[in-house]
Amino acid sequence: MSWTPTREAFDQYMLPNYSPQKVIPVRGEGSRLWDQEGREYIDFAGGIAVNGLGHCHPALMEALKAQSEKVWHLSNVYTNEPALRLARTLVEKTFADKVFLCSSGAEANEAALKLARRYAHDTAGEQKNRIVSFRQSFHGRTFFTVSVGGQPKYSQGFGPVPGGIKHGTYNDLDSARELINDDTCAVIVEPMQGEGGVTPATPEFLEGLRKLCDDHKALLIFDEVQCGVGRSGHLYAYMHYNVTPDILTSAKALGGGFPMGAMMTTDEIARVFVVGTHGSTYGGNPLGSAVALAAVETISSPEVLKGVEARSQRFREHLQRLNEKYDCFSDIRGLGLLLGAEFKPSFGERGREVLAAATEEGLMMLVAGPNVLRFAPSLVIEPEVIDAGMACLDRALARVVANS
C-alpha cells in the first residue's frame, strides 16, 4: 500500500534529536529543489555545504550509475578500484602521500585524532597525548570528536568526557601559545569555522599554529570537512592560506551528497597505522568512491574553481545591497562560497525567523548560530539563480522587519 510521509510522521517514527522544517523536498536539480506539492525552492544551503555541485549533477549521476552496474560493496579484505582511483587523485592534488577513506566528517576526524595520538605514542611516548582545539569549533558527533569540538552544549550530559583536551580562543595566537607544549600531540583547527559562525582564520593565526606545532613536534590537523573541496576557491583551504597541515580531513562535498569522508596525511605519519589499528566497514565504498572521484575531478577544474570567486562577489554585493536597505548586518564575511552575514545586535538574534520567512518565500538557506545567516550554495550556481534567491531573501527580510 502506498503511503506519503508527512512532517507529523517524523515525530512519530524518528528520535527527537532533529526538528526539521515543514517542507519535505522530494526532487532536486542543480540549485533548485521541489517539495511534495511541486513547489519550487532555490537552494543556498546545499545540504549544509554537501551538494558542492548542486543536485543530480550529470558527472556524478554518470559515475553513480556506471558503478551501480558493477559492484556496490567490497570489504577491506580486497583492494577496490574506485577507492584506489580516488585516493590516487587526492594524493596527486594535495600535500598528502596517503589516504584513509571513511563515510563522514566525524569519522575522518576520529581517525585523524587517533592517528595523532598513535604517532605521538610510538615516536615520543605515552605522555605526549594532549590535544588542543578551539572554542566555537565543530568536529563531529562521535564521543571523541564532540569532546574535542569547542561548543560545550553538544557534549554536555554525556560525561565523563575523554581527557587530555584543551580549548583555546580561535584567531588568538597567544591563547594557543599558552596551551601548546611538548606534551601536545595535535592541534586541530578549521581553517574557516563553519558551524561556529562562518569565521575565517587569519593567515597569522594558521602560520603561528604551524610554527608552534613545529617547535613542539605536535601534528597540525586541518578540519576541512565544511570549508574544503572547492568552497574557498581552492580545492582545499590550506592552499588559500599557503599553510600545509600534517593531517587534513575532508567529507561533506567530497561525495557531493553520497556519504564519503577522507583523512589524508604524509608517509611519515601514516606508517604508524599498521594493520589492525583502525578501520571502517564502509570506508572506500565503491559507489561513494566513484561519485567522489567525479566530484573532485569536476570541482578541481580551473573553470569551477575560478568561478567560485565571481559567484562569491555576487553574493557579497547582494548582501551589501540588502544591508543598505535594512541596516541589518554588522559583518559580511567568509571565503569563496561559504559566506556568513551577522545580524547587528539591534536587529536581534533572528536567524531562525529569517530562515522560516525565506522558506516561505521559496529559498532554502542556513544559519550558523542564532544571529548569523550562512550561505553554502552549489559552486556552480548560475548567476541568475543567485539573483532570484536574493530577491526571495529580500522579501523575507522585509517580512521580518515588518513584524518587529
Strand-pair category, 25-29 with 32-35: antiparallel
H-type alpha helices, 218-285: 237-241, 267-270
Nearer to ligand PLP, 194 or 208 (CB): 194
Task: Write the CA distances from 116 to 8, 219, 337, 404, integer angstroms.
Answer: 44, 7, 30, 50
Would the annotation count 174 as a binding residue? no
Question: Which residue has the closest beta carbon to ligand PLP?
Answer: 105
Peptide bond into 160 cis (omega under 30): yes
Give me the catalytic one of 44, 100, 134, 138.
Answer: 138
Nearer to ligand PLP, 250 or 298 (CB): 250
Active site residue 252: yes
Nearer to ligand PLP, 197 or 233 (CB): 197
Would the annotation count 336 as a binding residue? no
Q: Smallest distance, Å, CB 109 to ligand PLP?
A: 6
Q: Which residues does 113 contact at the CB level (< 8 Å), separation at least 6?
A: 131, 144, 145, 148, 186, 188, 221
Buried (b) or exposed (e) across 137-163, using 16+ Cβ within 10 A?
bbbbebebbbbbbbbeebbeeeeeeee
C-alpha atoms less than 13 angstroms from C-alpha of 385 in its C-beta half-sphere: 20
Query: Rounded to an integer, what distance in angstroms lies between the CA atom of residue 208 and that of residue 188?
Result: 13
Give me the catalytic one of 100, 252, 273, 329.
Answer: 252
Would the annotation count 362 as a binding residue? no
* CB distance 235 to 299 below 8 Å: yes
Q: Smallest distance, Å, CB 140 to ligand PLP?
A: 4
Q: How is residue 251 annotated by DSSP?
A: -
Q: Smallest distance, Å, CB 37 to ligand PLP?
A: 29
Q: Smallest distance, Å, CB 226 to ligand PLP?
A: 4
Active site residue 387: no
Would the annotation count 281 as a binding residue? yes
Would the annotation count 118 as a binding residue? no
Give me the catalytic one of 223, 258, 315, 343.
Answer: 223
Nearer to ligand PLP, 30 or 194 (CB): 194
Q: How is residue 382 annotated by DSSP?
A: -
The site for ligand PLP (CB under 6 A) is made up of: 104-106, 109, 138-140, 190, 194-195, 223, 225-226, 251
Nearer to ligand PLP, 195 or 246 (CB): 195
Would the annotation count 223 as a binding residue? yes
Residue of 317, 404, 328, 308 lying closest to 373 (CA atoms): 328
Q: Smallest distance, Å, CB 78 to ligand PLP?
A: 26
Would the annotation count 95 as a binding residue? no
Kindly compute the dihedral angle of the four CA atoms of residues 204, 207, 213, 215, in this order, to the nearest 10 degrees: -90
Nearer to ligand PLP, 238 or 347 (CB): 238
Task: Identify residue 117 by its one-letter amino acid code.
Answer: R
Q: Smallest distance, Å, CB 369 to ligand PLP?
A: 13
Question: What are φ and ψ of residue 147, in 5° steps?
Answer: -75, -35
Annotated binding-site ranges: 105-106, 138, 141, 223-226, 280-281
Annotated binding-site ranges for pyridoxal 5'-phosphate: 105-106, 138, 223-226, 281
Q: So which residues are the catalytic ones?
A: 138, 223, 252
Annotated binding-site ranges for N(2)-acetyl-L-ornithine: 141, 280
